[in-house]
């Protein structure tokens, strides 16, 4: 995946609609250009939409309803857009729920009492409900990225071309589950993108959510690949990403290259190393038609594994260790054990 950081962009936000930031914070806004190669690739979105609300949690009304004090001039849920959003705990530093998030019930929050937000149960939540430990926490309400908002226009143009192939996507649903969906064009005269399951039943476009810290797998037979320019805010606070035993579609949720062993990728991040390539946590990186497998060796390095699924599986010390994963490149993290408290933290200095 070829990537190039371009320039700071104070207004461009790729989200299907332009969202104005209603907050006082001086978020750093930027563009990230992502090129998705032909074949299979795991893609992450390391920027976020500008927050539409920020403030502090004042009281817990129920497990899914909270009273808040807004830090911006906007004090009404009417500022919440009609698209999927989440509430994330952004501070104070060291708060036990820092990085936790829950899905927002946008309709109920817009229609409800000022200063009150309604959350919803979802497998995308990092906690099941709120409780008194949330009082005093700082929060932000942020719109989700979706495949529809990020890639819908590009794919619409692609599928309008003669002999175009429909790409396939796998998106995370939470709880270790992924969903395969395929974009298709409806019939003329006004063709539009619909997301379908393999049996052609429709998957709602507002459910093509790409949660923070997760990634999507895209498989395309198109010989040229796809490119997109992602504009948004640079994430500044920790992001909890629960991990299941087995494969997890993840990406570093910050707009910096991930330095393994420095920013993340150590035993103190909950990862399991071993002297045996079959007894450690593994990283799978798709590169077009190639699949590269690395394991956390007992020394702390991510070494290449050769001969996987064969009796001759071994560490391949003739290849360089994996030390950096570029910003925006997702990967499959195969965990031997689940880690519901796993968290990605901002890059080290």
User: 110, 143, 176: which is the final residue of a domain?
Assistant: 143
Q: What CATH code is carried by the domain that includes residue 64?
A: 2.40.30
In a domain, 309, yes or no: yes
In a domain, 203, yes or no: no
Domains of the chain: total: 2
- What is residue 192's predicted lDDT score, i.e. its pLDDT? 93
Number of alpha carbons in the 13 Å side-chain half-sphere of residue 259: 7
Average pLDDT score over residue span 176-185: 94
Confidence of residue 289 (pLDDT cuts 50, 70, 90): confident
pLDDT 10s digits, 23-54: 434 578 988 888 888 899 999 999 999 999 99
Cα separation values, 202 from 1, 91, 174, Å? 30, 39, 20
Whether 59 has a pLDDT exceeding 70, the answer reads yes
In a domain, 156, yes or no: no
For the chain, the average pLDDT equals: 89
- What is residue 36's predicted lDDT score, i.e. its pLDDT? 86
- 3-state helix vs strand vs coil in the chain, percent to 5: 10, 40, 50
- What is residue 26's predicted lDDT score, i.e. its pLDDT? 55
- Host domain of residue 266: 239-344
Cβ contacts of 298-305, under 8 Å, gap ≥ 24: 298/273, 298/274, 299/273, 300/261, 300/266, 300/267, 300/273, 301/261, 302/260, 302/261, 302/265, 303/277, 305/277
In a domain, 269, yes or no: yes
User: 143, 169, 198: which is the final residue of a domain?
Assistant: 143
- Give the DSSP letter of residue 245: S
Average pLDDT score over residue span 134-140: 97
Whether 347 has a pLDDT exceeding 70, the answer reads yes
Closest CA to 105 of 72, 71, 130: 130
pLDDT 10s digits, 95-124: 999 999 999 999 999 988 888 999 999 999
pLDDT 10s digits, 149-180: 999 999 999 999 988 889 999 999 999 899 99
In a domain, 220, yes or no: no
User: 77, 109, 143: which is the final residue of a domain?
Assistant: 143
Confidence of residue 72 (pLDDT cuts 50, 70, 90): low
């Amino acid at each position: 995946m070829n990537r190039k950081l371009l320039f700071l962009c104070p207004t461009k936000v790729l989200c299907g609609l332009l969202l104005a930031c209603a907050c006082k914070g001086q978020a750093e806004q930027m563009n990230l250009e992502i090129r998705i190669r032909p074949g299979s690739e795991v893609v992450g979105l390391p920027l976020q939409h500008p927050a539409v609300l920020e403030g502090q949690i004042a009281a817990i009304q129920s497990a899914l309803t909270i009273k808040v004090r807004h830090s911006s001039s906007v004090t009404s849920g009417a500022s919440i857009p009609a698209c999927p959003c989440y509430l994330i705990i952004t501070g104070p530093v060291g708060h036990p729920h820092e990085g936790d998030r829950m899905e927002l019930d946008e309709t109920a929050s817009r229609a409800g009492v000022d200063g009150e937000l309604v959350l919803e149960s979802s497998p995308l939540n990092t906690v099941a409900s709120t409780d008194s430990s949330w009082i005093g926490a700082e929060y932000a309400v942020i719109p989700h990225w979706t495949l529809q908002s990020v890639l819908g226009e590009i794919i619409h143009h692609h599928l309008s071309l003669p002999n175009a192939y429909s790409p396939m996507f796998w998106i995370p649903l939470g709880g270790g589950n992924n969903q395969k969906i395929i974009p298709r064009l409806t019939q003329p005269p006004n063709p539009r993108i619909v997301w379908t399951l393999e049996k052609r039943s429709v998957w709602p476009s507002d459910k093509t959510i790409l949660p923070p810290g997760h990634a999507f797998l895209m498989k395309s037979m198109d010989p040229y690949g796809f490119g997109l320019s992602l504009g948004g805010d640079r994430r500044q606070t920790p992001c909890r990403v629960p991990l299941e035993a087995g494969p997890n579609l993840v990406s570093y949720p910050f707009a910096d290259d991930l330095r393994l062993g420095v920013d993340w990728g150590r035993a103190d991040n909950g990862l399991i190393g071993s002297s045996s390539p079959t007894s450690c946590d593994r990283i799978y990186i798709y590169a077009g038609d190639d699949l590269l497998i690395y394991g956390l060796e007992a020394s702390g390095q991510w070494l290449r594994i050769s001969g996987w699924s064969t009796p001759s599986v071994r560490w391949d010390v003739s290849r360089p260790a994996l030390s950096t994963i570029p910003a925006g490149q997702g990967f499959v993290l195969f965990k031997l054990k689940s880690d519901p408290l796993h968290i990605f933290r901002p890059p080290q200095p």
